[in-house]
Structure 1
Amino acid sequence: MEITIKKYVLPLKHTFSISRESHDFQDSMIVALKHNGKTGYGEATSNPYYKITFSTMQAEIENVREEIENYNFKEPEAFHAFLVSKNLSNFAICALDLAANDLYGKLLGKPLYEIWQTDNSSYPVTNYTIGLDTVDKMVAKMKEMPWPIYKIKLGTQQDVEIVRELRKHTDAIFRVDANCAWTAEETILNAPYLKELGVEFIEQPLKADDWKGMEKVIHKSVLPIVADESCIVESDVEKCGLHFTGVNIKLTKCGGLTPARRMIAKAKEMGLKVMVGCMTESTVGISAIAQLIPQLDYVDMDGAMLLKEDIADGVIIKDDGKVIFPSQGGSGVSLR
């Protein structure tokens, strides 16, 4: 196989803020794997919370470039196991795993959801994320993008008031994400008010390692609680089962489609609701997520919708939330 690595700086439509950080651009690493005349594409974005940059990911892959290029590629699962054995970060593995899956499907001439024998005639609509901002700016973002489901980023002392103000401007379903900013007491107190305001669930209200707090919340919250920062890798799913009603799986954090599919199966086995989320990827990463949506209860794959300029063609999300899957095999990605 031949590897190509390229850095993109993705400009966002608006400053994107959550409880712990803000940014106007998203650094992204695109990996291309070329084999037998076909090219598969994968992506992983940088993330300060996990101390991941383009440079760290690139260096990891360059250290094992020769071994990867000499690898006898047959199918993604064995390739993923090979990558894990090289002690790469999950972010670097994700980019390579997504590229390998895209390549595999293109070699077979079939989309991944078809290879996995899933029916894409029914799937959840993605939410559209409204970053934390002044109420006026958050309302303006909703008016700019009318959508049936919004994920509202929170993490202030006025979070219920923010949601109350936003509710005056839309009948859409709300989901709220505190990104670890609340205490157990705040979560339990906020939940009844948020439920009255049409909030479907609360995502990651407490710090990722506050398992005692989450045990308290899961027994007393009137709203479902979905794990994000507490659910990173496969082994986290079982632990989350005792503290959450659902898990949000991120491909970049867990290491790609290959482990994500196992995490989905485990979560379902445990009776958890299953969501897959994005980390402001371009259409390269979003097209990979889209292959999973027939298996999901919820999905957050609005990354490319938040960009001022995209870098790829693949899955298209229409104004009504309908997903148009590309005719190419794999994830169906091509770079512009």
Structure 2
Amino acid sequence: MKLDWTVYGLHLRSPLRISRSVMARRDAVRVVLEADGVRGHGEVVTSQYYGLDVERITGLLHDLAPVVASCADPGELRALLPELPPGVLAAVDAALHDLEALRAGVPVHAALGIPQWTDVPTAYTIGIGSVRDAATEAAALAARGFRVLKVKVGAEDDVARVEAVRAAAPDARLVLDPNGGWTAERAVRVVDRLTGVDALEQPIPPGRWDELAWLRERCPVPLIADEDAATVADVRALADLVDGVNVKLAKCGGLTAAREVVDVARACGLDVMLGCLVASSLGIAPAVHLTGHARWVDLDGHLLLADDPWTGIGGEDGTLRLTGVPGLGVVAR
């Protein structure tokens, strides 16, 4: 087998502001695994929050290349994979799944035995900005067909912005995401003033589980853990503290790990959100194959880009679609 990679930049349509940062671009690394002339692809994006920059990612891939070269097939490589940061492991795992499904001539979800689904609505993220801009964006998204909107919060005018989004898109389901930027007390105050909120995601900083328990008793909408929920152990520990967990492949280590997290969450009685980082369609595609298991789907990372170098999963009209072609189902533009 052979491992190769390419670094490229991803530029957003407009800067995305959340409670802890603003992003206008990020770098991505395409990972390619080849066996017997068949090439499987995956993608890892840089992230300051997860401690991944281009130098670290490419250094890890450079060290991994001899391991890949020593393997005759994907099964052998899976057994020999060293410990890697979850985002890098997710990209390698995606490339392995893509390669195996391409060789079998079936889509990834079929290779994994996941039931076929048709169309799934995805949320679209509205970043922190002015009340007027939020309303304008919400109206435009509703006109395009989006039925779920995620509103980033963590500013002084949160209530006014959410109310403006609700007025501009009255039929949309709203998910609020402070990215850990609120206190538990503020979360209660804000949510109590709002109507039509479908869920509240990671309102307080990770690690404050006593406060999560206090908040859940007082929160009138489902509470979703994101930064707090990365592993199966996290999910089990959070089972009585939240109503759902956000499963991100870049956070848990790829499709293989995500399936286990989803299964454990559902066994614990928790709802599942599938989330993502800003990435191309290649980076988002693996999670799309899991959407049949989720109550909330927030796989819009590719939709935030000015120029997506891959295509194949839809979403532009608020609905994700798989074409049924073998592998991950995406092609380079």
Structure 1 length normalisation: TM-score?
A: 0.93
Question: 1:230 and 2:215 equivalent?
Answer: no
The residue type equivalent to 1:95 in the other structure is A
Q: Match for residue 188 of structure 2?
A: 188
1:144 to partner: Cα distance: 3.5
Q: Match for residue 131 of structure 1?
A: 127
Consecutive unaligned residues in structure 1, runs of 5 or more: none
1:200 to partner: Cα distance: 0.1
1:299 to partner: Cα distance: 1.0
Looking at structure 2, the residues matched to 141 and 79 of structure 1 have their Cα atoms a distance apart, in angstroms, of 45
The residue type equivalent to 2:84 in the other structure is L
1:326 to partner: Cα distance: 2.9
Q: Match for residue 332 of structure 1?
A: 329
1:320 to partner: Cα distance: 5.0
1:260 to partner: Cα distance: 0.2
1:124 to partner: Cα distance: 4.1
Consecutive unaligned residues in structure 2, runs of 5 or more: none
- Equivalent residue of 1:209, what SS? coil
Question: 1:4 and 2:1 equivalent?
Answer: no
The residue type equivalent to 2:160 in the other structure is E
Question: 1:105 and 2:101 equivalent?
Answer: yes
The residue type equivalent to 2:148 in the other structure is I
- Equivalent residue of 2:117, what SS? coil
Is the contact made by 1:40 and 1:333 (CA closer than 8 Å) also made in structure 2? no
Is the contact made by 2:68 and 2:77 (CA closer than 8 Å) also made in structure 1? no
- Equivalent residue of 2:168, what SS? coil
Question: 1:239 and 2:237 equivalent?
Answer: yes
Question: 1:149 and 2:145 equivalent?
Answer: no
1:158 to partner: Cα distance: 2.5
1:1-33 residue CA offsets vs partner (Å, 9 max, x unmatched): 211111121111111110000011121111011
1:191 to partner: Cα distance: 2.2
Question: 1:265 and 2:255 equivalent?
Answer: no
Is the contact made by 1:123 and 1:295 (CA closer than 8 Å) also made in structure 2? no
Is the contact made by 1:124 and 1:298 (CA closer than 8 Å) also made in structure 2? no
Q: Match for residue 49 of structure 1?
A: 49
Question: 1:256 and 2:254 equivalent?
Answer: yes
Looking at structure 1, the residues matched to 270 and 120 of structure 2 have their Cα atoms a distance apart, in angstroms, of 16
Following TM superposition, the consecutive aligned residue runs of length 4 or more in structure 1 with deviations greater than 6 angstroms are: none
- Equivalent residue of 2:72, what SS? coil
The residue type equivalent to 2:56 in the other structure is T
Is the contact made by 1:237 and 1:266 (CA closer than 8 Å) also made in structure 2? yes
Q: Which one is further off, 232-241 or 179-188?
A: 232-241
1:94-124 residue CA offsets vs partner (Å, 9 max, x unmatched): 1101111111110111112112333333564
Q: Match for residue 317 of structure 2?
A: 319
Looking at structure 2, the residues matched to 167 and 82 of structure 1 have their Cα atoms a distance apart, in angstroms, of 50
The residue type equivalent to 1:69 in the other structure is A
Structure 2 length normalisation: TM-score?
A: 0.94
The residue type equivalent to 2:95 in the other structure is A
Is the contact made by 1:102 and 1:333 (CA closer than 8 Å) also made in structure 2? no
Q: Match for residue 22 of structure 1?
A: 22
1:219 to partner: Cα distance: 1.5
Looking at structure 1, the residues matched to 312 and 41 of structure 2 have their Cα atoms a distance apart, in angstroms, of 11
Is the contact made by 2:136 and 2:168 (CA closer than 8 Å) also made in structure 1? no
Q: Which one is further off, 149-158 or 113-122?
A: 113-122
Q: Match for residue 161 of structure 2?
A: 162
Looking at structure 1, the residues matched to 139 and 101 of structure 2 have their Cα atoms a distance apart, in angstroms, of 38
Looking at structure 2, the residues matched to 328 and 69 of structure 1 have their Cα atoms a distance apart, in angstroms, of 28
- Equivalent residue of 2:121, what SS? coil
The residue type equivalent to 1:242 in the other structure is D
1:52 to partner: Cα distance: 1.2
Looking at structure 2, the residues matched to 119 and 139 of structure 1 have their Cα atoms a distance apart, in angstroms, of 37
1:319 to partner: Cα distance: 1.6
Question: 1:96 and 2:111 equivalent?
Answer: no
- Equivalent residue of 2:16, what SS? strand
Is the contact made by 2:126 and 2:150 (CA closer than 8 Å) also made in structure 1? yes
Q: Which one is further off, 302-311 or 139-148?
A: 139-148
**Correspondences of 1:296-311 after superposition (within 5 Å):** 296-311=294-309
